[in-house]
A = this chain, B = another copy of it.
């Protein structure tokens, strides 16, 4: 017997009535079967099958229990971009693994950049949040805090009361910058956006303190330090800001840089995707890598190995898992600094 799709919702009470037991016995049948006699249990299950009852209503259960067994993940401005960025995808896979282990669902929260993002976050039926790298002024952070549920930010910013999982971006940038800038005299940085408006610019010695994305800010600080330690003043370093983390955008920007009167002889990027675009631009411009222009990426993705890119290795997957553990684990917000290393390959001078 199949009830039609539009049929009225079946409740536990109806099942109990048909089975000839109390509602509680029916409830126990689903939640603590061992406390119900074999006979009652089978009567309940038979009644449920007959009525097409698919189990306790999740919303009612969540309300009663005070927990949803679901973890919320806030993925930044355009949700669909999240899935286009392979590193973000690794991060999600790490979260997914932990959720699967603990029987949790994982709700991806669509952030559009509009004002109603906040409503969607506060309105999400989740027990905790993970927030993917965002800006200091992102209103979603305040919304997450306001829910008082456990939350962990990945990358940054650090927010009082929320956990933080990140690498030391400044140190990593400094280390990879040192490799890239060795022997260079005209270094350039290919940067992620500096503000939520995602404006593309090309400047020299870009202001750093007012950059609102902490991950980007820290990397710029690291590159600055690397430049200065290589004897190059920050004001002489070209900073080209790409509006998206994307090979095509990086390729266009790098082409512009390479065609200028004083073309860079070292370009440090903030992702392997960007660096791949830079390599293409260099090839198109007829510049030898690494001798005429050194290039570095970030993340040590499969692409980096394939292209022989010097890059910063980190495991976004493990960081995702760490975020999930922290968010689901306990009440105490955990901060964790993740490991990283520089992987030297042929795109930088030996």
Known: A54-B148, A93-B84. Is A99-B110 also a contact (CB below 8 A)?
A: yes
Specify which chain B residues have a CB less than 8 angstroms from the CB of A119 in the assembled complex. Answer: 55
- Interface-facing stretch out of A75-83, A133-141, A197-205, A256-264: A75-83
Interface flag for A124 (CB, 8 Å):
yes
Q: Kindly identify which residue among B3, B82, B116, B333 contacts A96, using a CB–CB cutoff of 8 Å.
A: B82
Interface flag for A286 (CB, 8 Å):
no
Interface flag for A283 (CB, 8 Å):
no
Specify which chain B residues have a CB less than 8 angstroms from the CB of A108 in the assembled complex. Answer: 96, 99, 105-108
Contact A70 B125 (CB under 8 A): yes
- Interface-facing stretch out of A59-67, A214-222, A335-343: A59-67
Specify which chain B residues have a CB less than 8 angstroms from the CB of A143 in the assembled complex. Answer: 54
Contact A3 B120 (CB under 8 A): no
Known: A83-B89, A83-B96. Is A123-B63 also a contact (CB below 8 A)?
A: no
Q: How many copies does the complex hold?
A: 2
Complex Cα distance A119/B123, Å? 24
Q: Which residue of B lies closest to A162 (CB)?
A: B5
| A to B CB contacts below 8 Å, 27 in the list | A3-B148, A7-B148, A52-B146, A52-B148, A55-B122, A58-B68, A58-B126, A59-B59, A59-B68, A61-B123, A62-B62, A62-B125, A70-B107, A70-B124, A79-B93, A79-B97, A79-B100, A80-B96, A83-B92, A100-B111, A104-B110, A105-B109, A105-B124, A106-B107, A106-B108, A106-B110, A107-B108
